[in-house]
Structure 1
Amino acid sequence: MNVVTTLIKSRHSVRKYKPDPLDERAIQDALECAALAPTARNVQPWLFGVVRDKHVLKTIAGLAANGPFIADCAACFFVFCERKELYYLEDGCAATENLILALQAYGISSCWVAGDKKEYAEPVRKLLNVPETYTLVSLVAAGIPAEVTIAPKKPLKKLVFFEQYKKE
C-alpha cells in the first residue's frame, strides 16, 4: 500500500463527533482539494459552503432526514452544482469524495449525506441563501471522531470481475 491507498482504506463514515473545532488550514486545504476534482469538460459547476454555527447546524439537521447527527458536528460542508449542467451530479460527487479524503488526511472524520433530489435540498439551499441556479448535491458532516463504528464491507471477490461477468 502507499499513502493514498492507506488513506482511502482508513476512511469510514462517522456520525459521533467531539465538540472540538476544526483547524482552519485543514478546512481551506480540503476545500481546495474539492475544487481540484475532475469535472466533465472542465466546467467546474460547483459552489462550496461551510457552516459551523450550531444554531444553523441544528436547523439543517432538522431538515435532513438522514442527517440528525449534523447538529453535533464541528462543521458541515455543502456541495452545490449548477443544475443546468449535464454532469452536475458526477462532478459534485467527485468534489465530495476529494473533500472527504482531504479531511481524512487531517484526521477529520466525516459522513456524506445525500442532497441531490432529496426533499430537503431546496430548503437547505434557501436557508444558506444559495442562488436558484444551483442545486444541493451533498452535505458532509465533519469533526474529530468521538466514536468510530466500522461497518463490514463485502469481500472484493464478490464485487469484481475481469473481462466478462460470469454468474457463479
Structure 2
Amino acid sequence: MNLGATIIKSRRSVRTFTDKPISEEIIKETLECGRLAPTAMNLQPWLLGVITDRDLLKKVADITDHGKFIADAAACFVVCGDKKAKYYLEDCCAATMNMITCLQGFGVGTCWVAGDKKEYGADICKHLEIPGEYSLVSLIPAGYPKEVEVPKKKPGKEIFFTNRWKPEES
C-alpha cells in the first residue's frame, strides 16, 4: 500500500481531543495543502483560515448545531468559498479534504463539520469578519485524539462498479 492510501485508510472522525496544542509548522503546512487543492479553471475561490483562540473556538462551537466539540479542539480550520464562483463548493471541498488528509499524516485528528447551506454559516462568517461574498463551506476541528471510534463502512461489493452499475444478486 502506498503512503497516501495508508493515510486515507487510517483517517477517522475525531470528536474528543487531548490538551496538546498543534504546532505552528503543522498549521502552516495544513493551510498550504488546502491552498494547493485543485480548482475549476484554477480560480482558487476560497479563504482558508484557522482559529486557535479558546474564546473564539467556544463561540463558534456554540453557534453550530452539531459541532459543540469544536470548543475542545486545539484548532479549527475554516474554509470559505466565493459565492460568485460556479464551482466554489466542489473546490472548497477539495481543499477541505487536502487539509484533513494533511492533518491525519501528522497524527492530528479531525472531523468535518458542515457549513454550506447551514443557517449558522453567515453568523460564523460575521464573527470571523469574513467578507460578505464568501460562504462558510466547512469547519475542521483538529487536535490530538483522546479516542478514536471505528465506524462500520459498507463493503465494496455493495457500492463499487465498473462501466455500468449492476447490483449483485443475493
Q: TM-score range by the shorter chain?
A: over 0.9
User: What amino acid is the match of 1:70?
Assistant: I
Q: What does residue 17 of structure 2 align with?
A: 17
Whether contact under 8 Å (2:50, 2:76) holds in the other structure is: yes
Q: Runs of 5+ in structure 2 lacking a partner? A: none
Q: What does residue 98 of structure 2 align with?
A: 98
Whether contact under 8 Å (2:31, 2:49) holds in the other structure is: no
Matched, 1:123 2:144: no
Distance 1:68 1:6 in 2: 29
Distance 2:83 2:20 in 1: 35
Distance 2:109 2:84 in 1: 32
Distance 2:29 2:136 in 1: 21
Superposition deviation, residue 44 in structure 1: 0.3
Distance 2:30 2:50 in 1: 11
Q: What does residue 137 of structure 1 align with?
A: 137
Superposition deviation, residue 164 in structure 1: 1.3
Q: Deviations over 1:9-56 (max 9, x none)?
A: 000000000011101111101110000000000000010111111111
Q: How does 1:37-116 map to 2 (within 5 A)?
A: 37-116=37-116
Distance 1:41 1:70 in 2: 33
Alignment RMSD (CA, Å): 0.7
Q: What does residue 157 of structure 1 align with?
A: 157
User: What amino acid is the match of 2:135?
Assistant: T
User: What amino acid is the match of 2:118?
Assistant: K
User: What amino acid is the match of 2:55?
Assistant: H
User: What amino acid is the match of 1:52?
Assistant: T
Q: Aligned to 1:17, what secondary structure does the other structure show?
A: coil
Whether contact under 8 Å (2:61, 2:70) holds in the other structure is: yes
Q: Deviations over 1:86-131 (max 9, x none)?
A: 0000000000000000011111110000000101100000000010
Following superposition, which runs of at least 4 residues in structure 1 exceed 6 angstroms of deviation? none
Q: Aligned to 1:126, what secondary structure does the other structure show?
A: helix
Q: Is the strand fraction higher in 1 or 2?
A: 1
- How many percent identity over aligned positions? 52
User: What amino acid is the match of 2:57?
Assistant: L
Distance 1:79 1:104 in 2: 17
Q: What does residue 7 of structure 1 align with?
A: 7
Q: Aligned to 1:14, what secondary structure does the other structure show?
A: coil
Q: What does residue 27 of structure 1 align with?
A: 27
Superposition deviation, residue 61 in structure 1: 0.7
Q: Runs of 5+ in structure 1 lacking a partner? A: none
